Amino acid sequence: EERERRLDECHDFTGFASSLFCGIAKYELHLKDLSCKGASGLTDAPLKRGQLIGIEVDKKRFTTAEVRWTRNSKAGVAFLEPLDYEFVTGLHARHRRRMAKSDWRRR
């Protein structure tokens, strides 16, 4: 049960840009949140519920996902294979550090 809860743990990734692939077409995906099992965010990709897509989460990790919902330019996806918990939490920690640096520079 603890492992399942951890896999579902959702992390705020607002401001994190990744790539989304529909066939050979590439689009930007601006993540809102990410968990081991899925993600949501903003994209201009023409997505439909049930569609299979590719997501380059970062330069080291590419995964396949199914579109679960769309609303205007927002979408939620479920990964066909969960991402490693350590990968997601490490990426989240790096993202938070980058965001904190950019906030500090704006002051």
Give the other-Cβ count within 10 Å of 39's Cβ. 28
The SS3 of residue 71 is strand
Average pLDDT over residues 42-63: 93
- Mean pLDDT for the stretch of residues 7-20: 84
Residues in the chain: 107
Contact 64, 74 (CB under 8 A): no
Average pLDDT value over all residues in the chain = 87
- Other Cβ atoms within 10 Å of 5 Cβ, number: 8
pTM score of the predicted model: 0.84
